[in-house]
Chain A
Amino acid sequence: MKIPPSEYTLQSFLQYVTDHTDELFAREERKWLKVYLIFVQVDWMKLFSEFKPEKLGQFLRIPIGTESSSIDFYAYEYAPGLLMFFTSSTEEDYERSLEKFIDSTRGITEMWIPPARFEEAKTHILSKYHGEIYKFIGRRTAITKAPAKRRPEYQRRISYSGMDAQETLKEVRETYGVLPTSIEFVVGQDKIKITDDGLFVLRTINPRTLQIMLDVVDIILGKQLQFEKVTQGVSANVELVKIGEREFRIPEIVAAKIALKTQVLNAVLVERIFGEREDIVEDDVLPAQRPWSDEFSFVDKTVLEGSLSFSGTVIDEYKGTIFGLSGGENEILLIPKHHTTFESFVRFYRMIVEKIDNEAELSLLSEDIV
């Protein structure tokens, strides 16, 4: 997709894309517009300087990749710290360009949409636009007893297509505890897909699908920006205090707190988080749930049973952030230590929500919030 240089606003950019779809996507096998929602640090422009972005009014054309092989993304700052990346590239292209860049760069992450917000977005499309779900992918990643009627101890992935997908989604949610991570809607003749990673795929590009996209962004935006503010607010600084003639360095921590709403932690769960305990599965056909992931390492751990208390140092193996973890039955404090970058907390919180408590809440322990 090549957009000719001009001084674009969001509106004029979208207008151009709508008016020139055939021409813009002439070389593409699939004429789908993809929009990625990305969280970035406050001074985000410098993140992309290596790609020599070109300014197109309120947009930036950022060719991501190597000089010989790069993918064009058109970036727009929809709200402070939230970028929209427009592209026509395939998922594989995305993976080898922007996703690769996100994984290896500090200060940027995909805008994960928590289950409750995702549900709101779904409801909005169904009710306001009378959309129908024709396809979805759902997962059950919980390592807890999140509601599921059948064999709640198993992780699951369900991919379903059919015009009864909406009912099926409801059924698999109740029966198998599966939550959607990707939903495809048909609205009249138009098709649009949304994922909980903050991706929109407009399989039909017209004013209506663009409006649906903007509606959904607005629905989730308020909470998401608050969420971004929390994760970006975590800090460990030093305040200089003068006592007599001498200046002292006083540690000043702004920590974050994850409050669990529907789950009480216990030693077994915490050990699972720490990756020290795997499920014992009787001679069954499905593999045991794996302990968390390779994204975070936990060291210097303590777990005390009884009135539970636990602690440890967490290392984000991808982004390098080091932070402390301290908690009890229904609360986890995140204490910044070294090389802090906000997306580590976004991803950590995401793991807690997906695997422990779908309704867990993240807040910042700072004066202006409390």
Chain B
Amino acid sequence: MRILSDIDEFLDYLTFEDLKTNYLKEKNELLKRIELEEQEKRVENVRKLRSEIRVDQEHRKILNACLYPFATKVSPLRKLGYYFLRAAPLLEKGTSNLDFLIYKSASNGAAIFGEAKGSVSDPSQTVRETLDRRDVVESNRDYANRTYLGGANVSYEYVLGVSSVDSNNVAKAVIRRNGGLIIWHSERSQNPQLTIFVPSEARIRPSMMHAEDQLNKELGRKISTSLEFKTFFQQSHIAAKLLVLLSIDKLSADETFKPEDLIKVVETELDYVDDSEVILREARTILQTGIDIGFVGVIGENRYKIRSRYKSAASRETDLMDKWVEHRLEESFNQKTGAVLGQLKSKYRNLREQKGDLRRYLK
């Protein structure tokens, strides 16, 4: 309705029939052209959007493989005293940050900052980016010590976690830069395992291994890990975060849900986060995006329902991703038309101004 009244207002403003007719004609032509262009690029755009989701998924799975052994007490790494402290350290500072922080608080303790990469197309670039992020951490050492490590002055170590397929090339790129990053990789020999890349050159080895020998040994022996641990992280793609909506209504008799239900799930996903504002913000974003893309319907005050013709989570997942992709395409279309129509209006505003002057002159 609002769009219509905007159009009406603008047409009223144009006053002259020839201007109105030309404006509408040009506008329709423009819209048709953009629609056609979008239609032609649709397959490619859909592919790009789905690829974003897949890249994020690969990233999450490697990240999980790096973190899981530090979140389960039976793991030998946990027994050595290392545990998963938090994901995305320094995120609250708004700086480019690494994916995780693992910590051991002992005299031989260490803070292990790490980055995970689902797939690596350009190893040199990946290594360069990770080293840049390492520098950011280094420049925030005081803050990190104070905020996460209780002021302890432990050694910092930097890890790049990749899949085994990429480990050799990434390690070579690190060696070319004289080390400085430890490579963990998720192996797929029979069952998922986490291990460490050990460089053959003695010269470079110390800078690509942990200070604690026992940790190197355990990782060298290969640690059983899991590609599943957290469904999403704060820095994950919105599509990953939306996954928690798939069965959010399962425990309710009337198949509705309350914001609290969602908050509880987000709290569990981000159980290492102690800032309730972060939890609320994430839950709000998920809910609002769900509504925006038409996957969640508002049915009353603080009461929501999943809008999908499917009941099973698996079918809903397809529906959810389709809706998200359509929404993004629509957004992109609206952005383009908004910009082009803005220019068109500005052109007709000028024409109208000129006409106005002419009428005054004729009087």
Residues of A in contact with B (beta carbons under 8 Å apart): 106, 236, 238, 241-255, 275, 294, 297-300, 302, 304, 306-313, 315, 317, 320, 322, 324-331, 333, 335, 337-339, 365-367, 370
Contacts and interface: CB of A to CB of B under 8 A. Distances in A.
B231 A337 contact: yes
Contacts of B148: 243, 246, 248
B250 A335 contact: no
B228 A243 contact: no
Contacts, number: 156
Contact of B243 (A302, A306, A313): A313
Contacts of A329: 190-191
Given A249-B274, A311-B61, A338 B268 contact: yes
Nearest to B246: A299
Closest 9 pairs (CB-CB, A-B): A244-B150, A324-B228, A328-B191, A311-B227, A297-B313, A297-B314, A326-B226, A307-B188, A243-B150
B184 to A, nearest CB: 16
Contact of B57 (A238, A302, A325): A302
B317 interface: yes
Contacts of B192: 309, 311, 326-328
Interface string B304-318: 000000011111010
Contacts of B138: none
Given A245-B150, A307-B190, 9 more contacts: A238-B271, A243-B148, A251-B71, A315-B247, A317-B313, A324-B226, A333-B228, A337-B268, A365-B72
Contact of A253 (B57, B189, B229, B313): B229
Given A300-B231, A365-B74, A331 B191 contact: yes
B152 interface: yes
Given A249-B271, A249-B272, A302-B57, A315 B246 contact: yes
19 contacts: A243-B103, A244-B150, A244-B151, A251-B71, A251-B84, A252-B71, A252-B72, A253-B68, A297-B315, A299-B314, A302-B227, A313-B228, A320-B250, A327-B191, A327-B192, A328-B189, A330-B191, A335-B68, A337-B269
Contacts of B228: 311-313, 324-326, 333, 335
Nearest to B73: A367
A366 B311 CA distance: 35
Point out which of B268, B271, B313 has the most chain A C-beta atoms below 10 A from its C-beta.
B313
B312 A294 contact: yes
A129 to B, nearest CB: 43
Contacts of A246: 147-148, 150
B296 interface: no
A255 B246 CA distance: 23
A326 B193 CA distance: 11
Contacts of A254: 72-73
Chain A interface, >50% SS class: strand
Contacts of B152: 243-244
Nearest to A317: B312
Contacts of A309: 188, 191-192, 227
A194 to B, nearest CB: 33
B312 A236 contact: no
B1 interface: no
Contact of B149 (A106, A243, A252, A297): A243
Contacts of A275: 314
B273 interface: yes
Contacts of A298: 314
Interface string B69-87: 0011110000000011110
B126 interface: no
Contacts of B358: none
Residue from B72, B151, B269, B272 having most chain A Cβ neighbours under 10 A: B72
A307 B193 CA distance: 12
B43 interface: no
Contacts of B86: 248
Contacts of B341: none
Given A248-B274, A299-B313, A322-B247, A333 B226 contact: yes
